[in-house]
Amino acid sequence: MVNKMNNFQAMVLDKVNDQSKLEIKQLSMDDLPEAEVTIRVAYSSVNFKDGAVAIQNNFVTSYPLVPGIDLAGTVLDSKDERFTIGDEVIVTSYKLGTGHFGGFSEIARVPAEWVVPLPKGLSLKESMILGTAGFTAALAVQRLEDNDLEPSDGPILVAGATGGVGSIAVNILAKKGYDVVASTGKLDQEEYLQGLGAKQIIHRNEIIDSDNKPLREEKWAGAIDPVGGKTLQYILSTLKYGASAATCGFTGGTEISTTVFPHISRGVNWLGIDSVECPMEKRLEIWNRLGNDLKPTTFTEEMVNEISLKELPEVLAAILEGKVRGRTLVKL
């Protein structure tokens, strides 16, 4: 709770004598970085990157740090005329939670250039059920459609389907009328994935390239891939003529070995998806679509696990092991 002295709770990552330390601490307003917009955070969320920051100290550019790459809340104070007290806002991306105090905190202070007004059609809670994972899934869907994907083209593959990006991608695509094939390492989650709208569920081992074949049977009219590595190799070799794969992650590996053949023999597109430096004009467009035609149909208990700051360390470790299903919302 924020008290009368304006002290508040936050998760702090620090490095002392080369040892990293992650703890819930009481901070004061003076501990926050200099910036224009001060926000009472209502919700944050847990993404794979948060695990990488908090547990492995990857992506961290300064200590001490409040992790949390997502936040949504209400403006308490603004030195920028674009925002006034009481505005509901979202902040994700840039250096939030990697080089600037982030969302695992009851209060945050951020540059005005990073702040997105809460779009029509979303509550603060829904915006953080989506968070960076949902934003990235929507960015990938839009890129595929910008490259001519239509529901009548055939099945769309979503890899890492029970994860954050995967779950929301499955649901958005199903809502838009696509036939979604969901690939997962968790076959006991068939019912969950069907509930999100997947037509077919396959084991992730079926979409791993084990023999470096450049081309195989044409299967997918498109793919969203948060997994990378040998999964991406397989996807590129099985896309239909002229189809596209949207690559957004690396939970299965960062390195890939492929050939030019999918591109020069089948005209397939390998699309890169980046949420962090996405320009503000496009960012606003995607958030507005997330409150409108790309809004998931399901924000159910199956997809969302709500936790407090105290429960965060356990989830941050679990997400790195691929053990988290759907989205974890952090209530502040």
Ligand X SMILES: NC(=O)c1ccc[n+]([C@@H]2O[C@H](COP(=O)([O-])OP(=O)(O)OC[C@H]3O[C@@H](n4cnc5c(N)ncnc54)[C@H](OP(=O)(O)O)[C@@H]3O)[C@@H](O)[C@H]2O)c1
Q: Tell me the closest approach of the beta carbon of residue 172 to ligand X, in angstroms.
A: 13
- Kindly state the smallest distance separating residue 50's Cβ from ligand X, in Å: 8
CA 231 to chain centre: 19
Instruction: Identify which of residues 124 and 320 has a Cβ nearer to ligand X in the complex.
Output: 320
The residue (of 253 and 267) whose beta carbon lies closer to ligand X is: 253
Shortest separation between residue 213's beta carbon and ligand X, angstroms: 19
Who's near 34: CB < 8 A, 6+ residues apart?
A: 109
What minimum distance in Å lies between the beta carbon of 305 and ligand X?
11
Q: How far is CA 170 from the centre of its chain?
A: 13
75 vs 324 by CB, closer to ligand X: 324
The distance of closest approach from Cβ of residue 258 to ligand X in the complex, given in angstroms and rounded to an integer, is: 17
Handedness of CA 228, 232, 234, 239 (dihedral sign): positive
- Interstrand relation of 19-28 and 70-78 (parallel, antiparallel or unpaired): unpaired
Which CB sits closer to ligand X, 152 or 254?
A: 254
Nearer to ligand X, 35 or 315 (CB): 315
N-term to C-term CA, the chain: 8
**Which residues form the interface with ligand X (CB under 6 A)?**
47-49, 132-133, 136, 160-166, 184-186, 204, 226-227, 248-252, 273-276, 319, 322, 324
**Rounded to whole angstroms, how far apart are CA atoms 330 and 106?**
11
Nearer residue to ligand X within complex by CB, 83 or 287: 287
Report the half-sphere exposure of 230 (CA within 13 A, side-chain side).
10
Shortest distance (Å) from residue 220 CB to ligand X: 17
Q: Return the residue nearest ligand X (CB atom).
A: 163
- Nearer to ligand X by C-beta: 109 or 325? 325
The torsion angles phi and psi of 62, rounded to 5 degrees, stand at: -155, 145
Cβ proximity to ligand X: between 55 and 276 the closer is 276
How near is the Cβ of 282 to ligand X at its closest, in Å?
Answer: 13
Closest separation in Å from C-beta 323 to ligand X: 8
Give the residue carrying structure tokens 């997809």: 303
